[in-house]
Amino acid sequence: MIKANNQNTVKTRQKFDQTFKLEAVNNWLTSGKSASVVAVELGILPNRLYAWRLRFAPADAGGKAAAGAKPSSAAELQTQLEAAHREIRHLTEQRDILKKTLGILSEPSPNAMNGFTR
């Protein structure tokens, strides 16, 4: 907790998704600006950019780093594909259950009088 001007303020930790991190690193590396300038523009600390560059920067052409870059992206794509397949199976099961429920609820009850009233 940070105390400022006799008021209690709580500073929450910022969380950034992978897309933001990738775009921040790409912006920094392609803009020709310093990490400090880009960090101020994005409202983050410069050391975050350096850490994200180590994790997300595109690998240099050739060498072991470049060879390791492609399989990780293919692995990420495979993981996303498997997650999509799981969601499709789940949604298909839900749809089938709802169809059966609708069929059961729309059947007339055995003691119904076929629309006759007294």
Residue 95 lies in a domain: yes
Residues 51 and 68 in one domain: no
Residue 8 lies in a domain: no
Task: Give which of 77, 79, 57, 78 is closest to 66, Cα–Cα.
Answer: 57
Residue 42 lies in a domain: yes
Residue 46 lies in a domain: yes
Domain that holds residue 89: 63-105
Residue 111 lies in a domain: no
Residue-wise pLDDT tens digits, 10-65 = 777 778 888 888 888 888 888 888 888 888 998 898 898 888 888 876 654 444 44
Task: Give which of 36, 38, 55, 45 is closest to 11, Cα–Cα.
Answer: 45
Residue 30 lies in a domain: yes
Residues 71 and 52 in one domain: no
Position 91 scores a pLDDT of 93
Residue 37 lies in a domain: yes
